Amino acid sequence: MRTTTVLRVLLSIQDLVVRNFQFEATGLLVDVAPGWQIARCGECGTRCRAVHDARERRWRHHDLAGMTLYLRYRIRRADCPSCKTVKTEKVPWAANGANFTYDFEERVAFLAQQSSKTAVATLQRTAWRTVGMIIRRVVARSLETGGDRLDDLRFIGVDELSYRRHHEYVTVIVDHERSRIVWASKGKSAATLKRFFDDLGPERCEKLEAVTLDLSAAYIKAVSEATPEAKLIFDRFHVQRLAQDALDDTRRDEVREAVTKDQKKALKSMRWKLQKSAWNLTDADIQDLEELERVNYPIFRAHMLKESLVSILDGRQINVARRRLKNWIADARSSSLVHFARVAATIEKHLDGVLEYVSSRLSNGRTEGLNGKIRTITRRSFGFHSASALIAMIFLCCGGVHVTPAHSAPSGFH
């Protein structure tokens, strides 16, 4: 069998002809060409007979037996009768303008879904920056071909994600029914979210039945303006966090007020116990929390308020929950805990949206799950410096983007 035939089978790329090959200091160089004669426009695919010029280019493909492998081809530029301008021709092995084959890029994207950027870069022997660029291209290709993600949305969640040590934000929209991210953009203002509703358009906005969101005034404004018919459901975890933060603020006040060093130290050490969920407490924790009633009544009271709010939101009966939540607001107000009086005012203002969770059970829980996934991504040291890199990664890992890492079966000896 001829070596060029062996190489064609090994490369396993459709519509590719192997002309020649040579070994270089850097690895193996394979001269290839498209399986068609007449150049095709890289933009629109139209056949272009009027060739302008040709220039040698190389594309990185999967390593072969540990050797770096490049495809080499004199790529043509031709007058495209459809685009009415000079275009670089289409090649069957790589995207327009890419320096890597489709197979190489798909593998990088697959690895990036699974492991750290360092692992991807080392394994694929490529630069970090390159990994980011490839991810962006693979995601863009997938979003182009995957149909319009903004169609048929009924239940969505709005959430914000921080990056660059909480200095920058990205707003993401989740489709609750399909459990995937459908839209993301830099920023967390009303204007950011308005851009999403503009992309959605009035017809699709009308189909929205419910939107889960946090209690941010900017988001509330944008959602109410764009889709006044949809129900607002305030995310229970964000509501709980208000109480958790109020509890922590109360504890901090008490540390400041404490007289002796020992008292201060004891109250400081309570921080983590106060943050734990009830089911996560050890016997010793429970004992400490019970002691609080005697040791520091304000913190004890704050903790009870936080726990009772959680229990109200756990409830399933809307009428019961409404009555209990109103009592809770009255309790919080009369507790003389300033931080809880503030939370009570916020909850009262948004009472219906907070209770909507009890009847619908919809929350950003899924989004929060995705948030966890994104935090993992960030921890994997992808070190996002730009919103577009983070957004590409969000779509890659949480947008249901499908990548095929391996070769299909060898394309045979035809």
Residue 43 Cβ, how far from Zn ion at the closest point, in Å? Answer: 4
94: β partners: 91
Residue 365 Cβ, how far from Zn ion at the closest point, in Å? Answer: 47
Query: Based on CB atoms, which residue is closest to Zn ion, 53 or 177?
Result: 53
Residue 90 Cβ, how far from Zn ion at the closest point, in Å? Answer: 9
| 179's tokens | 């459990």
Query: Based on CB atoms, which residue is closest to Zn ion, 80 or 94?
Result: 80
Query: Based on CB atoms, which residue is closest to Zn ion, 94 or 230?
Result: 94
Residue 45 Cβ, how far from Zn ion at the closest point, in Å? Answer: 7
| 232's tokens | 């607002």
Residue 13 Cβ, how far from Zn ion at the closest point, in Å? Answer: 23
Query: Based on CB atoms, which residue is closest to Zn ion, 75 or 80?
Result: 80
- For residue 145, the tally of other CB atoms under 10 A from its CB is 7
Query: Based on CB atoms, which residue is closest to Zn ion, 80 or 109?
Result: 80
Binding residues (CB under 5 A) for Zn ion: these are 41, 43-44, 46, 80, 82-83
Q: Which residue has the tokens 């009086």?
A: 341
Residue 87 Cβ, how far from Zn ion at the closest point, in Å? Answer: 5
- For residue 185, the tally of other CB atoms under 10 A from its CB is 18
Three-state SS string over 274-306 comes to: HHCCHHHCCHHHHHHHHHHHHHCHHHHHHHHHH
Query: Based on CB atoms, which residue is closest to Zn ion, 49 or 125?
Result: 49
Query: Based on CB atoms, which residue is closest to Zn ion, 44 or 67?
Result: 44
Separation of alpha carbons 308 and 240, rounded Å:
10
Query: Based on CB atoms, which residue is closest to Zn ion, 6 or 44?
Result: 44
Residue 52 Cβ, how far from Zn ion at the closest point, in Å? Answer: 13
Report the residue count for the chain: 414
Query: Based on CB atoms, which residue is closest to Zn ion, 60 or 87?
Result: 87
Query: How far is CA 201 from each of CA 150, 178, 198, rounded to the nearest angstrom?
Result: 10, 20, 5
Residue 79 Cβ, how far from Zn ion at the closest point, in Å? Answer: 9
Burial (CB < 10 A; 0-12, 13-18, 19+), residue 372, is: exposed
Residue 38 Cβ, how far from Zn ion at the closest point, in Å? Answer: 13
Separation of alpha carbons 295 and 51, rounded Å:
87
Inter-residue contact 98 to 75 (CB < 8 Å):
no
Separation of alpha carbons 177 and 179, rounded Å:
6
Separation of alpha carbons 302 and 294, rounded Å:
14
Inter-residue contact 274 to 248 (CB < 8 Å):
yes
Helix axes 102-114 and 128-145, enclosed angle (nearest 10): 100
Can you tell me whether residue 374 is helix, strand or coil?
Answer: helix
Residue 189 half-sphere exposure toward CB, CA atoms < 13 A:
5
What's 76's DSSP letter? E
Residue 15 Cβ, how far from Zn ion at the closest point, in Å? Answer: 18
